Amino acid sequence: MKLYRIKKSKIDNKGRGLYATKDIKEGTKIINYTGKIITNKEVDRSDKYDNGKPIYLFTLNNKYTLDGDFPWNTAGLINHSCDPNSQYDGKGLKIWITAIKNIKKGEEFTCDYGFSFDKDYRQFPCKCGAKNCCGYIVREESRWRINKKFAMSNKKRLIKNSR
């Protein structure tokens, strides 16, 4: 039995997501992340990777990248969460999704997309609904930048209001 099924996502209103078909223990391998192995040079050269975030790209080593932007890559349907229950794992040229928490039947699988923080972060709002959601899809290590920003603009607002 597959550990996942495809369903309309609760996080991404327009899209689909993967849901647990049974209770899953932390550390369980859920699904392979499949795609095409390309060279890092191809990534640099191709127009396909110029725009937007390379959310389907995984650098495998200093020579190869996995491009998972294909309809048959079911794992590509997994949505981002600021409090994910799964993560991308890999060895050699293989990538898969592993549960990083105990997951209950019916829960949606989520991963941290690991976007870096840059000027375009506002293009990727996050609606994961987690308590710690910073409002945008940005990797955990960079979220403080956004939180700091929020903190600053709140401060300004407070000063304005107190006048």
Interface region with Zn ion, contact rule CB under 5 A, candidates 56-64, 75-83, 88-96, 151-159 = 75-83
Run of H or E residues at 39: strand 36-39
At position 98, the amino acid (one-letter code) is T
Q: Which is nearer to Zn ion, 52 or 125 (CB)?
A: 125
DSSP letter assigned to residue 3: S
Q: Which is nearer to Zn ion, 23 or 118 (CB)?
A: 118
Q: Residues 102 to 161: which contact Zn ion by CB under 5 A?
A: 126, 128, 133
CB of 81 to Zn ion, least distance (A): 6
Among 82, 95, 99, 103, contact with Zn ion (rule: CB under 5 A): 82
Q: How far is CA 37 from CA 41, 49, 74, 106, in A?
A: 12, 14, 16, 32
Interface region with Zn ion, contact rule CB under 5 A, candidates 9-17, 51-59, 77-85, 87-95 = 77-85
Q: How far apart are CA 44 and CA 120, in angstroms?
A: 19
Contacting residues toward Zn ion, per CB under 5 A: 82, 126, 128, 133
